[in-house]
Amino acid sequence: MYIKTIKINPREQIAIKMAQNPVIVAMYLGCAWAWIQSTHGEYLIGVGSYDMTGPAADVNMMGYANIEQNSAGIHFRLRARTFIVAESLQGPRFVFVNLDAGMASQLLTIKVLERLNSRFGNLYTEENVAISGTHTHAGPGGYLQYVVYSVTSLGFVKQSFDAIANAIEQSIIQAHNNLKPGSIFMNTGDVQDAGINRSPSAYLQNPAEERAKYPTNVDTQMTLLKFVDGASGKSIGAFSWFATHGTSMSRENKLISGDNKGVAARLFEDWFASQNTSSSPNTNSTVPDIGELVKKAKSIKATGGKDCNQKTSQGSKVRKNDGSLFVGAFCQSNVGDVSPNVLGAFCMDTGKPCDFNHSSCNGNDQLCVGRGPGYPDEILSTKIIGERQFKTAVKLFESASEKLTGKIDYRHVYLNFTDIEVELDNKNVTKTCPAALGPGFAAGTTDGPGVFGFQQGDTKINPFWKNMRDLLKEPSQYQVNCQNPKPVLLSTGEMFDPYPWAPAILPIQILRLGKLIILSVPGEFTTMSGRRLREAVKETLISSNNGEFNDETQVVIAGLTNTYSQYIATFEEYQHQRYEAASTLYGPHTLSAYIQEFKKLAQEMAKGENITIKNPSPPDLSSVQISLLLGPFGDSPPEGIKFGDIKEDIAFPKRGYFMKGDTSSATFWSANPRYDLLTEGTFAVVERLQGERWIGVYDDDDLSLFFKWKVDNISLHGLATIEWKIPNDAISGVYRLKHFGAAKITIASPINYFTGASSAFAVQ
């Protein structure tokens, strides 16, 4: 018998032994990871980002509860931005997702976790996944599962929900696939003039000795994390937390927008890209002759509508998402009473400051409106507040030198907030209440006034509104007593028809990244509420541990995370019943309940325990959702016209060309943008002529380009208008505006994709 000798190299020998012995596998991986950590960084880190822009027509926006505020175009696109951090391949890890959305949604969390489970098994669960909203009030609604949050959106909007859920999933997949050894650096600093307290009279109800501990009635600190690839030394992302409302865009705005935090993210990511580009896009140092540019532009006419395919708009996208781009996210914190309208609130009729205690004008809440720094231009105000956050973030990013080290850990629990026993400081025991809203809620805020006939601070309900309330649901006497001194306008916690009006079971969560503690809260804590929670958790961590936690421990609040349950005011603010207190669902001791339960989680984390009782999970109400918003039934252009044809071409200035700061625009015959959201694509592009080729240089993700959609009042056909406010850094040349869209002739027809371009024009 002939036996062939086989030589096995050392690497193959190790592989065979590992396959035969799991203990050797663990030892080998442990040694390998120890070597990687010593040479490439403390953690495994990964970032991801994905387009979550929802329907740009007909869908009510989430935030102001203004039934007339339906989407009609795009200011700039919305994104889900994610980071994952792990101790090792097999060690603990957590996921943090930042959404350009009004808030997280319990139904989103449930469905995304189901998708992650089918893909990754038990790697990512409710325990270690946090999904947080920036609180923009300019994103499509209809993605939450409780009635009170979907009334103005006419119920559940599947297309809106799917856009966000898909973006969360895809951004997590990107971050997971990008995991690599790296380091995380932390830095903190103050953001100047990006927020004021919109309920200062309520803040003054807090004890004077407590207020004296702080220099301002809002938190100005930004906490930033910088993620650095251990092998290349290149930064891959930055996530920051800072409190200011996403209400720079008003309740009259109808363009989808990430508001000021979305602006900050766009500026940060573009800044980073410009810092890491080897050459400037304007390589020609000579200014082209304007006469030649005009002559060239005049020779190029509008293209007319043309057929294209589903991917055509993605090919024209300026920032193509291949999963390798730098991710810069601006997350929300204890934002409850913080407004970006920093000039203050004034009466629209007199121009004088509003009433201090009620934020009304001679009793009229609708006349009292806050002013942003760009007043009366809300687009400018949005940009300015975004720039202030962006500039602080850049400083912190460039100077970040404190490397985070230590454990990754997390704790999570569901709680029925309608019935929590709360032990107060005086040792008395009380309870939280079923959810309810007071009349101050209906009054709205200086960021977005509410219904006529209400004022912030109201402690009585007039007979008309009381009768209207009772037609829906008269509150129980228990509820009336429990919520006191809040008069119950809507007893949402006692309303279950056709399905629950408000959440009862809420998640709270703590994430640990070395010395950084992130508190995931399912609502909007006011400034002082957030301060109390942070201090209580930090004190608990320090007192319950053997020295691992100390005064250097950094605690941040991630607001509007995992689900949404409106506001959390302090007990003292609750007595004043301004908007935030009237929207504190579970009664006067809501904050005390949060502090009590977070302290329990913090104590477990500090002691390395995980003994929290597993409580019932929140319900999945997807099967009972009502959807009353009708979809588009089919579009067709006027006779003899194709989609993409020009209705109104470029209107040239008298000089015959455009200068920087001018606005060029063109209007196209188009179809409802709900037929296809063009995810990771664009409805609008500015193209520049380079040689004989048109190159996309701006798209609907740029702050200078606006896509607007409407139905023509005369013909009842759809129109898409593209407006380009020519930025100061635009290159002199020949340009045109291009539109992409999708249409169905009937509801049963296949989707047809089309495009069209304006006549060319010169920019000097």
- Which residues line the annotated binding site? 135, 245, 524, 567
Q: Would you call 291 exposed, middle or buried from its count of C-beta atoms within 10 A (0-12, 13-18, 19+)?
A: exposed
Annotated catalytic residue 339: yes
449, amino acid identity:
P
Q: Are 724 and 702 in contact (CB under 8 A)?
A: no
DSSP 692: T
Side by side, which strands form the sheet with 505-513?
408-416, 505-513, 516-520, 554-558
Vertex 491 angle, CA 418 and 566, to 5°: 65
Q: DSSP readout, 367-406?
A: GEEEE-TTTT-HHHHHHHHHHHHHHHHHHHHHH--EE--S
- Rounded Cα gap, residues 53 and 205, in angstroms: 40
Q: Which residues are known binding-site members for Zn(2+)?
A: 135, 245, 524, 567
Residue 376 CB contacts under 8 Å (≥ 6 apart), including other chains: none
Three-class secondary structure of residue 100 per DSSP: coil
Radius of gyration of the chain (CA): 27
Q: Are 754 and 741 in contact (CB under 8 A)?
A: yes
Three-class secondary structure of residue 488 per DSSP: coil
Q: Which of 105, 339, 520, 732 is catalytic?
A: 339
End-to-end CA distance of the chain: 87
Q: Closest by alpha carbon to 27, among 35, 156, 250?
A: 35
- Rounded Cα gap, residues 116 and 94, in angstroms: 13
402, amino acid identity:
E
Q: DSSP readout, 1-69?
A: ---------HHHHHHHHHHH-HHHHHHHHHHHHHHHHHHH-SEEEEEEEEE----SEEEEEESS--TT-
- Rounded Cα gap, residues 587 and 487, in angstroms: 11
Residues identified as active-site: 339
